[in-house]
C-alpha cells in the first residue's frame, strides 16, 4: 500500500500545512508521476526553495520499497535517491502536477491560501 503525505513549504513563523492523500488520490498521484516529462536535455536550473513565501512542496511517499522523498518546485520534480538508485528529475510543464497536488490540500491550506498559491 502506498501512503503519500504532502507539506507545503510556505511559512516562516507558523508550522507548514501538511496533509495526507486519500487512497484514490494516491492512485491518481502515481499516474500523474508516470506522465511527468523527462529532462533529457541540459540540467534543470535550481528551484527556488529559499526566501519568504511559497517555496515548494515536500512529498513523502511510503511504499513497500521504502520511503521516497520528492520535492516539487519551479516546474520540476526531484526524486531523492531511494536505496542505491540515483536521484531523478522530471519536468512539470506548466506546473500542472504541482497544482493538482496543491488542490488535494484544500482543507489543510484553506480556500484563500489555496487560491493564493494557485494564482
Partner 1 sequence: MIKVTADIFSGRPNPQWIVSGAEAATALRALSQQPAAAANLDSGFQGLGNRGLIVEVLNDHSQDEYGVPAIFRLAGSGSSHESHARETAERLIAALTAHGAGDHPLLTSAEGALPLDADLMRFILGGLPAARGPLTHSAEQAETIDSASSVSATAACLIETTLFNPGFWNDPAHISRNNCYNYATNRRTDTFAQPGRASGHMYAHINCADVGNGAVSDGGTFACAPDSQKNRWYMALVIAPGPGFIDYHWYRKATQGFWGHKPGGTAARNVDNAGRVVVDPRTANRGPYTIFCRFMFAQKKMVVR
Where along the sequence are the contacts to partner 1 (CB under 8 A)?
A: 9-16, 49-55, 110, 112-117
| Minimum CB distance to partner 1, residue 63 (Å) | 23
Long-range residue pairs from 22-31, CB within 8 A, at least 24 positions apart, any chain: 22/104, 25/104, 26/2, 28/100, 29/4, 29/61, 29/101, 30/2
| Minimum CB distance to partner 1, residue 36 (Å) | 25
| Minimum CB distance to partner 1, residue 85 (Å) | 21
Q: Which three cell numbers stand for residue 41?
A: 536535455
Comparing CB distances to partner 1, the nearer of 10 and 26 is 10
Comparing CB distances to partner 1, the nearer of 57 and 113 is 113
Distances in Å between the alpha carbon of 46 and those of 43, 50, 53, 76? 9, 11, 17, 9
Identify the CA nearest to 29 among candidates 18, 20, 17, 38: 20
Comparing CB distances to partner 1, the nearer of 30 and 48 is 48
| Minimum CB distance to partner 1, residue 105 (Å) | 13
Amino acid at each position: 500500500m502506498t501512503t503519500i503525505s504532502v507539506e507545503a513549504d510556505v511559512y516562516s513563523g507558523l508550522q507548514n500545512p501538511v496533509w495526507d492523500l486519500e487512497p484514490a488520490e494516491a492512485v491518481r498521484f502515481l499516474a500523474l508521476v508516470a506522465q511527468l516529462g523527462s529532462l533529457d536535455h541540459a540540467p534543470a536550473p535550481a528551484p527556488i526553495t529559499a526566501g519568504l513565501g511559497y517555496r515548494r512542496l515536500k512529498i513523502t511517499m511510503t511504499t513497500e520499497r521504502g520511503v521516497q522523498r520528492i520535492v516539487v518546485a519551479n516546474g520540476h520534480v526531484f526524486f531523492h535517491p531511494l536505496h542505491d538508485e540515483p536521484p531523478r528529475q522530471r519536468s512539470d510543464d506548466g506546473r500542472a502536477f504541482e497544482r493538482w497536488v496543491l488542490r488535494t490540500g484544500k482543507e489543510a491550506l484553506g480556500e484563500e491560501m489555496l487560491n493564493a498559491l494557485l494564482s
